[in-house]
Amino acid sequence: MAAAAPEVAVETEGAVGIVAINRPAALNALSISVMDALLEALGGFDRDPAIRAMVLAGLPRAFAAGADIGEMKHIADSKGADKALSLHLARWDKIALLKKPVVAAVSGFALGGGCELAMACDLIVASETAVFGQPEVQIGVMAGAGGTQRLTKIIGQALSMEMNLTGRRLTAREALSFGLVNRVVPVESYLVEAKKLAQLIAAQPPLAVQAAKASVRAAVDLKSSEGLAFERRLFFSLFDTRDQKEGMKAFAEKRKPVWSGQ
Ligand code: HXC
């Protein structure tokens, strides 16, 4: 008998690391084992100097239809939830804390923990069939991995309330109009477009990219004055890099820079 396909597939294209969830029978539900495999793969790319950007993809029918309800339905009370799920929820934060940029390639369902996973990434390329939602209220709970926090900061309170309180889903076009995704493309090309965006990022000087990512992220968590101070520190730190010397020299010499990543 052939070995079962792994739940998470990993490959590279040049300096881009691609991680794809592959659990079609459960619409890519994010079980502990799937999230562990995702973190191992993404964490490995984050530490690999040959990789400069990542793509996190699902399947055309589902990016991920949420955390695995089968793993939660037996939990008896809040203490049990804390014990069983605290570490699991931390996996979403660990993805948000990766140093290198991650482009989510989202098609089909991105619901509950799936929507939260897409938001833990840095950019989202959506197919025309993508559907975003926080439907946890419909199974008696609420979002627990950023669906009331990240979503509200991205799309605002009115719509976030509606999504979290009624389970309203957003189409890809709506998600674009509310600033949740970067672009909407035909389903046939969402993965290719996500890879192209990742390649474009990977072609930039990596230390500057990582500093810019950290600084944009800080805009969400820090108050304005702290965020500006953090930005300034990172900006100055880039003058310690070879890529700053190369970038500015190449500009003056009217040639393309060659990035060393140092
Ligand atoms: C486990 C899931 C699942 C999930 C789908 N499946 N979503 N299994 N966890 N989150 C399984 C179904 O049980 C079914 O398995 C198979 O995938 C196909 O799903 P269907 O329901 O038959 O497909 P369809 O009728 O097309 O409906 C698709 C759907 C629906 C609208 C996406 O599956 C759905 O509502 N899923 C749950 C969405 C949700 O509530 N997500 C939030 C989860 S809580 P079988 O074996 O029957 O074929 C969450 C908390 C996050 O994410 C906090 C972080 C821990």
Model pTM score: 0.97
What pLDDT does residue 2 have?
A: 64
Catalytic machinery residues: 67, 113, 116, 136
Does the C-beta of 75 come closer than 6 Å to ligand 1?
A: no
Say how far residue 193 (Cα) sits from the centre of its chain.
Answer: 15
Residue to substitute in 22, 35, 69 for testing ligand 1 pocket (most ligand atoms within 8 angstroms of CB): 69
The residue with tokens 């931390």 is 90
Q: Give the β-pairing of 131-133 and 183-185.
A: unpaired
Atom number of ligand 1 nearest to Cα 85: 55
Q: Whose CA is nearest to atom 47 of ligand 1?
A: 26
Beta strands, E only, 97-247: 102-106, 109-111, 123-127, 131-133, 169-171, 183-185
Ligand 1: centre distance to CA 115 (Å) = 13
Separation CA 227–CA 203 (nearest Å): 27
Separation CA 137–CA 163 (nearest Å): 9
Q: Whose CA is nearest to atom 16 of ligand 1?
A: 26
Residue to substitute in 23, 27, 107 for testing ligand 1 pocket (most ligand atoms within 8 angstroms of CB): 27
Does the C-beta of 109 come closer than 6 Å to ligand 1?
A: yes
Does the C-beta of 27 come closer than 6 Å to ligand 1?
A: yes
Domains along the sequence of the chain with CATH: 8-202 (3.90.226.10), 206-252 (1.10.12)
What pLDDT does residue 5 have?
A: 78
What pLDDT does residue 4 have?
A: 74
Does the C-beta of 63 come closer than 6 Å to ligand 1?
A: no
As averages over each run of 10 residues, the pLDDT of the chain (262 residues) reads: 82 98 98 97 98 98 98 94 94 97 98 98 98 98 96 97 98 98 98 98 98 96 95 98 98 97 94
Does the C-beta of 15 come closer than 6 Å to ligand 1?
A: no
Atom number of ligand 1 nearest to Cα 67: 52
Spell out the residues 6+ positions from residue 78 whose beta carbon is closer than 8 angstroms to its own.
none
